[in-house]
Amino acid sequence: MIDTHAHIYLPQFEDDGAEMLMRAESVGITDILMPAIDFESEKQMDSLISEHAGQTTIKLHRMAGIHPCDVTGTIDEKRLLDWCSKPEILAVGETGLDYYWSTEHVSDQKKSLKLHCKISKSLNKPIVLHNRDSTTDLLDIIESEQNGTLRGVWHCFTGTIEEGKRAIDLGLQLGIGGVVTFKNGGVDKTVKQLDLNQFILETDAPYLAPTPHRGKRNEPMYTQLVGIKLSEIFDLTLSEIDIITSSNARKLFTLEF
């Protein structure tokens, strides 16, 4: 299994980073993809990889981007492009829109998202999209930026059936995480009506831990719980879910099979 979205370089994992990776390895996690939050994320990711190199067979992968909640003005385009251009960076993100915490910088967030789309297309690297209370604007911007080469993922998908179908039509995969396990979240009923061949697994660790760990720190080993939930929804084995979603992730992020 592949955890396509985990912030395991954050302070929440300082005390048990090695153990966290070993737990993930024990349930079959082969790759963990780390989305950036801000420019400081680069150093944090490098430090994590350096510290835990060789301790497990898990491959750790880096992304580059500025989270919408960290956008409060104009982003240094050259600095972002230089960072995203590095060969070890496999995706641009996470970027997107977030109107939940504040609508003070909506204009700057939109400019940032368009910049990330531009860089994604220029480098032929997928884009990773955060969306909270901003679906229409987010998909409208993706539609306006789509020239046939933009590809990526709507991370932490919680949309409607119609929104999910529109996202897929726009060239996006849907990132399915712990929210699909929440009893009254409704995401389980929505994803059942969508195409499993457009799904990838994720945790968003340390956030949004799946049931029965809801409210506690999330970690990559819980990708398995998301996979188990999808196996119940689609009446497939966990192995079948793993094969489908891992293949989707490897194609999207150009990972080795």
Residue 183, CA distances (Å) to 132, 192, 228, 247 in order: 20, 15, 15, 28
Pairing mode of beta strands 199-201, 172-176: parallel
Residue 150, CA distances (Å) to 57, 116, 156, 196, 253 in order: 31, 11, 19, 21, 13
Tell me the pLDDT of the chain (257 aa) as tens digits.
999 999 999 999 999 999 999 999 999 999 999 999 999 999 999 999 999 988 999 999 999 999 999 999 999 999 999 999 999 999 999 999 999 988 999 999 999 999 999 999 999 999 999 999 999 999 999 999 999 999 999 999 999 999 999 999 999 999 999 999 999 889 999 999 999 999 999 999 999 999 999 999 999 999 999 999 999 999 999 999 999 999 999 999 999 87
* Alpha-helical segments (H) within 103-234: 106-123, 135-145, 161-169, 187-191, 223-234
Q: Domains along the chain?
A: 2-253 (3.20.20.140)
